[in-house]
């Protein structure tokens, strides 16, 4: 284990302890928190007005001779009113190692909003809960990871109740992305089933994919799954594992995280 991984792991543990020990304002009718992690698919629910939610984590990604570690994955969500939340993406600390050497430093931060458009019924129904996210990255990272300009994104979010213990959600996304030469459009989509295994334990399985023309059409496809555990209604642990299905078998990622509402 490198010095970087040891230090960032310690930083995550300390941050998680600080979040877990923070005072919580938890009315009984608020219910268990709903997070935007650990899956790729964003939830269609916003944070209640007057509350905030901090979601942190770390991911190790390996494939095609490249090993990447991202520590932090910090998303702060704050309820502005009944339908809008402010989203601040803090800069992750990343390291990337390949045959040519190692690069490390902070990635770009970001800012955005999630807006609830329509709330579907709690009972099983074909009528979805619908929301969208609009945001942009900010070119604030270290040189190896900083974009040349702000990169906007837009996500359309849908969620359906299948049964008392099963939910389905899907995202359709557009974003500007950069390669070494120019910026281009990147499209992505996802489909995720969530399962309530008990009052405290949840699980999910998911497919998501990216497509971009840079300059020729390219795609990336993934499947992943994970577990969540509620320590109480405002504090959740998560773990996930996924593989890239259109790449060699060694292309995979594993992550863990913690979320707290306060």
Judged against a pLDDT cut of 70, whether residue 22 lies above it is answered with: no
Q: Which of 108, 188, 110, 118 is nearest to 155 (CA)?
A: 188
Q: pLDDT band for 116, please (50, 70, 90 cuts).
A: very high
**What's the pLDDT tens digit per position in 143-160?**
989 999 999 999 999 999
Strand partners, 67: 62, 97
- In terms of C-beta density within 10 A (0-12 exposed, 13-18 middle, 19 or more buried), how is residue 242 classed? buried
- Rounded-to-5 percentages of helix, strand, coil across the chain: 10, 60, 35
Structure confidence at residue 47 (pLDDT): 96
Give percent above pLDDT 90 in the chain: 78
8 Å CB contact between 174 and 184:
no
Q: Which domain holds residue 120?
A: 3-261
Pseudo-torsion of CA 166, 229, 35, 203, nearest 10°? -30
Count of domains for the chain: 1
19: CATH: 2.40.160.40
pLDDT tens readout for residues 60-81: 999 888 999 999 999 999 999 9
Taking Cα atoms as reference points, which of 63, 33, 39 lies closest to residue 190? 39
Supply the pLDDT for residue 200.
96
Q: Average pLDDT, stretch 43-50?
A: 95
């Amino acid at each position: 284990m490198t010095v970087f991984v040891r230090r960032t792991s310690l930083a995550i543990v300390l941050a998680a302890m600080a979040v877990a020990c923070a005072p919580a304002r938890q009315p009984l009718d608020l219910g268990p928190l709903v997070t935007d992690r650990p899956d790729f698919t964003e939830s269609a629910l916003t944070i209640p007005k007057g509350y905030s939610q901090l979601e942190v984590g770390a991911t190790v990604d390996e494939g095609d001779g490249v090993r990447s570690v991202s520590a932090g994955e910090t998303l702060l969500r704050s309820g502005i009113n009944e339908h809008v939340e402010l989203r601040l993406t803090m800069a992750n600390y990343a390291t990337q190692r390949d045959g040519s050497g190692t690069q490390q430093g902070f990635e770009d931060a970001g800012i955005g909003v999630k807006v609830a458009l329509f709330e579907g019924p709690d009972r099983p129904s074909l009528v979805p809960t619908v929301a969208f996210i609009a945001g942009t990255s900010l070119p604030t990272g270290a040189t190896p990871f900083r974009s040349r300009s702000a990169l906007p994104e837009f996500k359309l979010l849908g969620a359906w109740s299948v049964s008392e213990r099963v939910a389905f959600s899907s995202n359709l996304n557009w974003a500007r992305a950069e390669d070494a030469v120019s910026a281009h459009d990147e499209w992505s989509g996802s489909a995720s089933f969530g399962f309530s295994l008990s009052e405290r334990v949840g699980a999910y399985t998911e497919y998501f994919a990216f497509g971009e023309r840079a300059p020729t059409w390219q795609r990336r496809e993934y499947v992943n799954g994970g577990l969540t555990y509620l320590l109480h209604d405002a504090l959740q642990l998560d773990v996930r594992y996924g593989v890239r299905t259109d790449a060699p078998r060694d292309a995979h990622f594993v992550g863990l995280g913690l979320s707290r509402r306060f």
